[in-house]
Structure 1
Amino acid sequence: MIKQVLSDDIIKQYLPILTACPLFNTLGIPELTSYLHNAKVIIKNYKKNDFIAISGDPMEGIGVILEGSAILTRENVLGQRVIMANLEASSIFGEALLFSKHPLWPATIKALKPTKIMFIPLETFIETLPDCHQCQTKILSNLLEDLSEKALLLTKKVHYLTLKGMREKIYAYLTDIYTMQHSEKLVLPHNREQMAEALNVSRTALSRELGRLRDEGIIEINGRHVTLLDPQQIVEFGFNN
């Protein structure tokens, strides 16, 4: 795929998305604009349900979602699909592979709707760009911070997988969201099917247990909106397991 320097029109169109991207969040607009005027990147468009990457394919660089959304999944030896990440506009992916000796996608990434992605190749990070030395340093610092945050998220994923009981998994999931959103009224990042995949359980069993929690007066649930009626019980359970 041809690498290109972004035109002024494209930079102007996507500047709000890029300023919200974790890779660029400490750059001022003049710095970011200067970087985009010098960095050679790859722009790709995908239709709904297109595969952006398939496990084992070579990677072309860090991906930044400019439009649309995607989902990153892996399959276990039993063929069960597990959601590793939901990717929305301004999200980045592939950063853990950037400096790998064998940069092959370890997971599958699929577009959930028409999606546009900017891929930033390795040379953009290691080669000095004109008038961009300071902003390249900031970008590398942001990259390291993002990797640290995602390592923590991976630890949570592993935690879900190690829990055996359905209620334990749900409580751990709700506790993590409660901690992030600081509210008893939660907006879940997943729909029911995606939540089941994230917790590595069947959707039917998950729905049944959520119904029990609702009937016991522990939660109220309406689609992705969940109210914790007894957050202390949920959080304390998480700390004791």
Structure 2
Amino acid sequence: MKQHITLFTDILPEEQERMRICFNAREETFRSGETIMEYAGTMQKIGVILYGRAVLYCCDTDGDENMIDELNKEAVFGEPFLLPSDSQHYYVVAAEETRAMFIDYEHVIKRCENACHHHSQMVSNLLQLTALQSRQQMERIYVLSRSTTRQKILSYLNALSAEKQSDTVRIPMSYTSLAQYLSVDRSAMTRELKNLEEEQIIEKNGRNILVRKYRLQI
């Protein structure tokens, strides 16, 4: 099984404490609806969700707001993962009470005089997380490129099943958020999920879904 990578993978607790001082780490708690971070045009800081849930949004020049990603515990965000363009405004908003830690990007890329192990390990983890997020963004582009609501739902469930290596998956967000994430109408998505249940392609219990792959056609 693949190792679950976080910013602190293979960094001992005592090293994490030294890292917080070395990297000038700061923690802050946000209420639901509060803006956690607005992206700048340059790579300035990295954020880590310590607990809670947040959403990354993008607002274009027409003022249209689009959900880009949902961020849960240990999720990493910031300009290094999605360098904003001048025509789009990216920002992270707390979906519930959320605590985040912030690290200046400059402290990560500049080696300290001691060349400590935890610094090198964090850079390695950061590179792996960047590659992982790039892959996830490509998978979402594929899902969004599907022409119908049904195809988008099935492509998303198939990708989630492959990621979890299980036919039973749990939608990691509300169905309202999922509709926004898939860029489909909420009512249309609900009808299509019901159709998929009636056709016995999926079995739904709340946000838990069993995907019968032998009947899956995308």
Please give the TM-score of this superposition, normalised by the length of structure 1: 0.78
State the identity as a percent. 25
Q: Which of the residues 7, 12, 16 maps onto 1:28?
A: 12
Secondary structure of 2:200 counterpart: coil
Report the Cα distance in structure 1 between the residues aligned to 2:26 and 2:61, rounded to whole angstroms: 33
In structure 1, runs of 5+ residues without a counterpart are: 1-19
Q: Which runs of 5+ in 2 are unaligned?
A: none
2:85 maps to 1:128? no
Q: Is the 8 A contact 1:56 1:105 kept in 2?
A: no
Is 1:215 the counterpart of 2:204? The answer is no
Q: What pairs with 1:43-58 in structure 2 (closer than 5 Å)?
A: 43-54=27-38
- SS of aligned partner of 2:99: strand
Matched, 1:176 2:159: yes
SS at match of 2:184: coil
When residues 104 and 141 of structure 1 are mapped into structure 2, their CA distance, relative to the original with a 3 A threshold, is farther
Quote how far apart the aligned CAs of 1:32 are.
2.3
Report the structure, 1 or 2, having the larger helix content: 1
Show CA shifts across 1:40-77 (max 9, x none): 12332321111123465877510011232211122457
**Contact residue 63 and residue 94 of structure 1 kept, 8 A:** yes
| Cα distance in structure 2, aligned partners of 1:226 and 1:47 | 30
**Secondary structure at the residue paired with 2:127?**
helix
Alpha-carbon RMSD across the aligned residues, in angstroms, is: 2.9
- Residue 190 of structure 1 pairs with residue 173 of structure 2: yes
* 1:233 paired residue number: 215
State the aligned residue count: 215
> 3-state DSSP class of the match of 1:155?
helix
- Residues 1:55 and 1:29: Cα distance change in structure 2 (over 3 Å): closer
1:164 and 2:156 are equivalent in the alignment: no
Q: 1:39 aligns with which of 19, 23, 26?
A: 23
Report what 1:90 is aligned to: 74
TM-score, structure 2 normalization: 0.85
Shift of 1:29: 2.7
5 Å-filtered alignment, 1:137-148, equals: 137-148=120-131
User: Among 94, 105, 109, which residue is 1:111 paired with?
Assistant: 94
